[in-house]
Amino acid sequence: MPRRNVNCPDMSDGSIFYDVAVVGGGPAGLSAAIALAQGGANTALIARRAPYADNRTTALLGSSVDFLERLEVWPHCRDHAAALRTMRLVDDTGRLIRAPEVKFSCEEIGLEAFGYNIENRTLVAALEQRAAGLSNLTRFDDEAETVTPEDAAVVIRTGSGQLLSARLVVGADGRHSLCREAAGIEVVARELKQSALTFNISHSRPHRNVSTEFHTPEGPCVFVPLPGDRCSVVWVASPKEAERLKALGDEELSDAAEKRSHSILGRVKVEAGRNLFPLAIERPRQFAGKRVVLVGEAAHVIPPIGAQGLNLGLRDAADIADIVSEAVTACEDPGAPQTLRRYDFKRRADVLSRTFAIDIANRSLLSDLLPVQSLRAAGMHLLGSVGPLRRLAMSEGLAPSWRTRKPPTETPTGPSAEATSPSST
Ligand SMILES: Cc1cc2nc3c(=O)[nH]c(=O)nc-3n(C[C@H](O)[C@H](O)[C@H](O)COP(=O)(O)OP(=O)(O)OC[C@H]3O[C@@H](n4cnc5c(N)ncnc54)[C@H](O)[C@@H]3O)c2cc1C
């Protein structure tokens, strides 16, 4: 863990004053809090301790596993996660113009696995355990009731009336982010006429670490390996159809899932627990402002296509932790405008490019227009048949290659100077 510079002025002066306060204890917030504390920041985490409430799983791709390794969390997850070695995309639209099947294999880009699929509740339990073991991470088992940015700090009042201040607030408080509102950051939001039903299954044939995504005219239905002969299922459909599926009895839903999967996994048996998620695309106009930065779903909501959401959230967490670590080591204010600008610059292209790509993929699947269907089929054909293109798609799907690009040098009129001005986009 980097040590604080002993020459830095002590801001604590006996009151509850932190370098950083993270609001929200979902997987993105917990990861950010751990990474910030490990990076040397005196960190507060304002999050209710509650068991993870749904049965979602996450396909952790590319650098996400390295990041969790760095947080000393991955060793507690490894045995509960299934390796993803092959990804199949199957056009199951039944349309006149259909795309050929595309198969991505990790060996083709020299990897042992694209990533690992794990139940969110297992991941969150491992993150909670690690967070509890860090001496410079203080947990407030509470909600943030008000978040008030001021010139030199942000003041947070918790639900039980406790007051604390921090130089920087990390808003990890999900889709309806109070922190985002406090920073005056607007959101561009579009509800999709789709819902995702999630449930887990056991099956009679092995999955062989192959994740299969069936593309239907209402959205994708994906079977993602879990340890043993089990898979998690994310079934995207119209809200009405998703409600209907959710209401089915266990046997009926097992039959429906088996039919949807064309029996590639043999007999299917659904496990207890189903959750429904109305889908939307949301992006804030900025990723930072007024001593607040946004991570996880406070910073991006995208449909579950290509397993990108939390992978983006973990990159948010890694980036803000690196930026803050540099600031506190240099005795700089971690909530200063230049810190916010660096964060906004680092996250903007990654988040916007993924949101755009997923939106296009989803729209092209739903479109009834023949030219769109032809384009989609041609694109899939190229991916399937042109090796270099396929390999590029695989590498970029794991993490953007330009993440190593240097941020701009500090000038008041630099390309991301907008990060501190809510009205600038
Ligand atoms: C069906 C589905 C499948 C998905 N599959 C994948 C996948 O395979 N791979 C992937 O990378 N992503 C996936 N995603 C996306 C991923 O699930 C989300 O990106 C991720 O769960 C968001 O985590 P988060 O911590 O940002 O938000 P949340 O999990 O929503 O956490 C926010 C937390 O903040 C708390 N909070 C809110 N307000 C306050 C407050 N005022 N004070 C204190 N706490 C507060 C909430 O109680 C909550 O605990 C999927 C999404 C869906 C819908």
Listed range (184-188, 222-226, 295-299, 396-400) with the worst mean pLDDT: 396-400
pLDDT of residue 26 exceeding 50, the answer is yes
pLDDT band at 136 (very low <50, low <70, confident <90, very high): very high
Give percent of the chain with pLDDT exceeding 90.
Answer: 68
Locate the ligand 1 atom nearest the alpha carbon of residue 59 and give its number: 8
What is the predicted pLDDT for the residue at 401? Answer: 63
For residue 174, report the distance from its CA to the centre of ligand 1, in Å: 6
For residue 26, report the distance from its CA to the centre of ligand 1, in Å: 6
Atom 53, ligand 1: which residue's CA is nearest? 277
What is the predicted pLDDT for the residue at 402? Answer: 59
Contact 150, 121 (CB under 8 A): no
Atom 48, ligand 1: which residue's CA is nearest? 26
pLDDT band at 372 (very low <50, low <70, confident <90, very high): confident
Contact 235, 221 (CB under 8 A): yes
Reported as type and span, the H/E element at residue 213 is strand 210-216
Q: CA 302, CA 355: separation in Å to the nearest integer?
A: 6
pLDDT band at 96 (very low <50, low <70, confident <90, very high): low
b/e per residue 29-41 (b: at least 16 CB within 10 A): bbbbbbbbbbbbb
Residue 82: strand pairing partners: 117
Atom 45, ligand 1: which residue's CA is nearest? 24
Q: Which residue has the tokens 């330009």?
A: 402
Dihedral sign for Cα atoms in the order 249, 304, 324, 161: negative
What is the predicted pLDDT for the residue at 403? Answer: 60
What is the predicted pLDDT for the residue at 57? Answer: 96
pLDDT band at 420 (very low <50, low <70, confident <90, very high): very low
DSSP state of 100: P
Mean pLDDT in residue range 341-370 = 85
What is the predicted pLDDT for the residue at 405? Answer: 47
Q: CA 100, CA 344: separation in Å to the nearest integer?
A: 39
Contact 168, 336 (CB under 8 A): no
pLDDT of residue 147 exceeding 70, the answer is yes
Q: What is the largest CA-CA distance in the chain?
A: 71
What is the chain's length?
A: 425
What is the predicted pLDDT for the residue at 418? Answer: 35
What is the predicted pLDDT for the residue at 111? Answer: 87
pLDDT of residue 315 exceeding 80, the answer is yes
Listed range (94-103, 239-248, 395-404) with the worst mean pLDDT: 395-404
- Cα–Cα–Cα angle for 88, 92, 95, rounded to 5 degrees: 135
Contact 119, 57 (CB under 8 A): yes
Residue 148: strand pairing partners: 155
Give the mean pLDDT of the chain. 87
What is the predicted pLDDT for the residue at 393? Answer: 73
Atom 1, ligand 1: which residue's CA is nearest? 196
pLDDT digits (tens, 9 = 90+) for 180-189: 999 999 999 9
pLDDT of residue 411 exceeding 60, the answer is no
Contact 182, 46 (CB under 8 A): no
Q: CA 20, CA 168: separation in Å to the nearest integer?
A: 5
The pTM assigned to this predicted structure is 0.89
pLDDT of residue 351 exceeding 50, the answer is yes
Query: Tell me, what amino acid is at 259?
Result: K
Mean pLDDT in residue range 129-154 = 96
pLDDT band at 89 (very low <50, low <70, confident <90, very high): confident
pLDDT band at 234 (very low <50, low <70, confident <90, very high): very high
- Side-chain half-sphere of 263: how many Cα atoms within 13 Å? 3
Mean pLDDT in residue range 68-94 = 93
pLDDT of residue 288 exceeding 60, the answer is yes
Direct distance between the N- and C-terminal alpha carbons of the chain, in angstroms, rounded to an integer: 37
For residue 95, report the distance from its CA to the centre of ligand 1, in Å: 34
For residue 172, report the distance from its CA to the centre of ligand 1, in Å: 9
Nearest alpha carbon to residue 23 among 1, 8, 41, 43: 43
**Among 58, 119, 139, 295, which is best to mutate for testing ligand 1, by the most ligand atoms less than 8 A from CB?**
58
pLDDT band at 395 (very low <50, low <70, confident <90, very high): confident
**Among 55, 279, 310, which is best to mutate for testing ligand 1, by the most ligand atoms less than 8 A from CB?**
310
Locate the ligand 1 atom nearest the alpha carbon of residue 279 and give its number: 53
**Among 31, 56, 179, which is best to mutate for testing ligand 1, by the most ligand atoms less than 8 A from CB?**
56
Q: CA 149, CA 335: separation in Å to the nearest integer?
A: 10
- Cα–Cα–Cα angle for 25, 40, 298, rounded to 5 degrees: 30
Phi, psi of 198 (to 5 degrees): -115, 140
Atom 20, ligand 1: which residue's CA is nearest? 310
User: Which amino acids bring their CB within 6 angstroms of ligand 1?
Assistant: 23-29, 46-47, 56, 58-59, 143-144, 172-174, 178, 196, 198, 234, 277, 296-297, 304, 307-311, 313
Contact 55, 122 (CB under 8 A): no
Atom 43, ligand 1: which residue's CA is nearest? 143
Query: Tell me, what amino acid is at 403?
Result: R
For residue 304, report the distance from its CA to the centre of ligand 1, in Å: 12
Q: CA 160, CA 189: separation in Å to the nearest integer?
A: 32
Locate the ligand 1 atom nearest the alpha carbon of residue 30 and give its number: 25
Helix, strand, or coil here: 34?
helix
Cβ of 111: how many Cβ atoms within 10 Å?
A: 15
- Cα–Cα–Cα angle for 198, 199, 203, rounded to 5 degrees: 135
